[in-house]
Amino acid sequence: MTALLETRGVWQRFGGLVANSDVSISVGRGEIVGLIGPNGAGKSTLFNLIAGVLPPTQGSIWFDGEDVTHMPAAERCQRGVGRTFQVVKSFETMTVVDNVIVGALVRNTVMREARRKAHEVLEFTGLAGRADVLASDLVPAEKRRLEVARALATEPKLLLLDEVLTGLTPTEAQTGVALVRKVRDAGITVLMVEHVMEIVMPLVDRAIVLDLGKVLVEGKPADVVRDPKVISAYLGD
Ligand code: ADP
Ligand code: MG
């Protein structure tokens, strides 16, 4: 069976800066794949290319057997690409449930159906008790969870998580890890960016390390963490 997601020789240049340099990765159906690497490695840029926020300077992106390189972001979302943003983009003046309804409206044009879906997702993500609170009143860990909930409400095949576990307390991070496992167990493939290796490595089936815009190493987490190239990229020499 073909991969759910593939990037083929993808480049992204911002003027003279090369943010992604010949990046070819693939994510199989049902996998949790970690995309890691130091700050500025090009992880968020690659997410933007996959989600369709930016067209790549060169190369192609394949999702679910289709070339989506030039497909607009909204259409990719319809096809099943769901994502969160590293900088949380909740609508602060809306309630938690209304934020999730925004996601659910991608698939359900009938408001009653969208609301029902939103409550189902809030239950799934452990936010049911916070449904009627303003998003601005959530603590940071809950805001991250709301981002995940809104992405899940779009009913993705692939969920792109950009640093949703970063900056959380160890307990909150473990709750987040459990949620990611639950998402995968629900049949959704996960590609997650994390800066902190200790958090992601026990969770992922496979890790891909980006450094200076390029794929440095990929493989099983236990092998990746021991790779001298990875160690030196993280120590910055
Ligand atoms: P990461 O998420 O791995 O920290 P990013 O993908 O955010 O890295 O950034 C990779 C590089 O591309 C950085 O040097 C960053 O400053 C640059 N960059 C990202 N987005 C833009 C943009 N829209 N315009 C110019 N440079 C950008
Ligand atoms: Mg980033």
Pairing relation of β-strands 81-83 and 5-14?
unpaired
Q: What is the pTM of this model?
A: 0.95
% of the chain with per-residue pLDDT over 90: 85
Number of domains making up the chain? 1
Establish if 123 belongs to a structural domain.
Answer: no
Question: 24 in ligand 1 pocket by Cβ < 6 Å?
Answer: no
pLDDT per position as a tens digit, 123-158: 999 999 999 999 999 999 999 999 999 999 999 999
Establish if 56 belongs to a structural domain.
Answer: yes
- Residue pair 135/92 in contact (Cβ under 8 Å)? The answer is yes
- Residue pair 208/10 in contact (Cβ under 8 Å)? The answer is no
Establish if 13 belongs to a structural domain.
Answer: yes
Pairing relation of β-strands 32-36 and 206-211?
parallel
Output the residue whose Cα is nearest ligand 1's atom 6: 42
Question: 48 in ligand 1 pocket by Cβ < 6 Å?
Answer: no
What is the 125 CA–ligand 1 centroid distance (Å)?
30
What is the 171 CA–ligand 2 centroid distance (Å)?
23
- Residue pair 79/71 in contact (Cβ under 8 Å)? The answer is yes
What is the 36 CA–ligand 2 centroid distance (Å)?
10
Range of the domain at 61: 5-87+157-235
Establish if 132 belongs to a structural domain.
Answer: no
The per-residue pLDDT for 132 is: 98
- Asked if this assembly's ipTM is beyond 0.90, the reply is yes
Question: 76 in ligand 1 pocket by Cβ < 6 Å?
Answer: no
Which residue among 45, 47, 54, 208 is best mutated to probe the pocket of ligand 1, counting the most ligand atoms within 8 A of its Cβ?
Answer: 45
- Residue pair 216/21 in contact (Cβ under 8 Å)? The answer is no
Question: 17 in ligand 1 pocket by Cβ < 6 Å?
Answer: yes
Handedness of CA 110, 111, 114, 119 (dihedral sign): negative
Which ranges in the chain belong to alpha helices (H)?
43-51, 73-79, 96-104, 111-125, 140-153, 170-185, 197-200, 221-226, 228-235
Establish if 142 belongs to a structural domain.
Answer: no
The Cα 136–Cα 124 span in angstroms is 21
Ligand nearest to the CA of 39: 1
Indicate which atom in ligand 1 lies nearest the CA of residue 54: 23
Confidence band of 179 (pLDDT split at 50, 70, 90): very high
Establish if 149 belongs to a structural domain.
Answer: no
Establish if 143 belongs to a structural domain.
Answer: no
pLDDT per position as a tens digit, 205-220: 999 999 999 999 999 9
The per-residue pLDDT for 110 is: 93
Which CATH number fits the domain that encloses residue 225? 3.40.50.300
- Residue pair 25/207 in contact (Cβ under 8 Å)? The answer is no
Establish if 210 belongs to a structural domain.
Answer: yes
pLDDT per position as a tens digit, 90-109: 688 899 999 999 999 999 88
Question: 208 in ligand 1 pocket by Cβ < 6 Å?
Answer: no
What is the 195 CA–ligand 2 centroid distance (Å)?
8
Output the residue whose Cα is nearest ligand 1's atom 7: 44
Pairing relation of β-strands 206-211 and 66-67?
unpaired
- Residue pair 100/177 in contact (Cβ under 8 Å)? The answer is no
Output the residue whose Cα is nearest ligand 1's atom 21: 14
Amino acid letter at 10?
V
Confidence band of 27 (pLDDT split at 50, 70, 90): very high
The per-residue pLDDT for 237 is: 53
The Cα 100–Cα 232 span in angstroms is 41
